[in-house]
Structure 1
């Protein structure tokens, strides 16, 4: 009886409190290396350096693994974006900063960018993932809107996601000057439109 209680106690209080997070990050690594189709409990366990039973203990299905990977990837990305925004001077040209950010995603963070889009697209066929992907969209809208206004923030969020994907997969990719021009038009457009509306 004492042995069974001890085993149960270990299950309730695992020695490795960070194991769940390690498994989540390992799932991101597997998707980065093999794509969504390469995600299995066994491949994630190997990447995390944990027994296979640990992955099924925390995440019973592959969709559970995908969900936690998407949540972790989105949280990491939002954290990096907030740090980026906080580091920008208040008088920085936002269109220039956004263009540099897009190019940096491809130049410095292409592997993580690709996996984040893989996970994001997975929500198209897995409704349970859509809440997480929508939360990422909302974070972008709020962050960009804090430098402009809510409507422009939403426009910039959609433009940002589309441009990152284009720069990653297009051959040749759009030049920096074009990316900056698009952001500048998105930011300055409402003012120009209002000016036209008031012309005689």
Structure 2
């Protein structure tokens, strides 16, 4: 029973090893076959599993893939948030309460400023929809390791976010104390490509031996 468990651990170790260490798997099975007893075989197999896990975590390809998936998940979450904001904006267009409109009125904004804000609302909602779609596309491209398409989707997100920010600032730039929900969009559109670039540099670094 212990010998069979040791064999299973060695097989798992072989599957865990990165491509650059696959030759280690053959050596593991050779050493396992020469183990003096079942207990020694199990201890050796456990050590092989530990070494395989260590090498997998050190592998640059593994870390890069994990980084891509992490960025993809964050991007998808941002996309869901933008879609929720768009849904709220659509509800406002059809009569729901708009917190920004209430804030503008409460702070004594002029009627012309409020009118410009109301007129810009459909465009802003459209920006949220487009931004969510671009971010969902970017997350999908990352899951398929299509980095160039992800960069294009991120550039589209940046343009859309910049448009939304421009609309926001053109309306309430001088109204002190009114928060803007669009600043985070611009930060995210810049941060995601920056993170991707960082992971790309990590991948390009020579692997330690």
Fold conserved (TM > 0.5)? Answer: no
Q: TM-score, normalised by structure 2?
A: 0.29
Higher Rg of the two aligned structures: 2
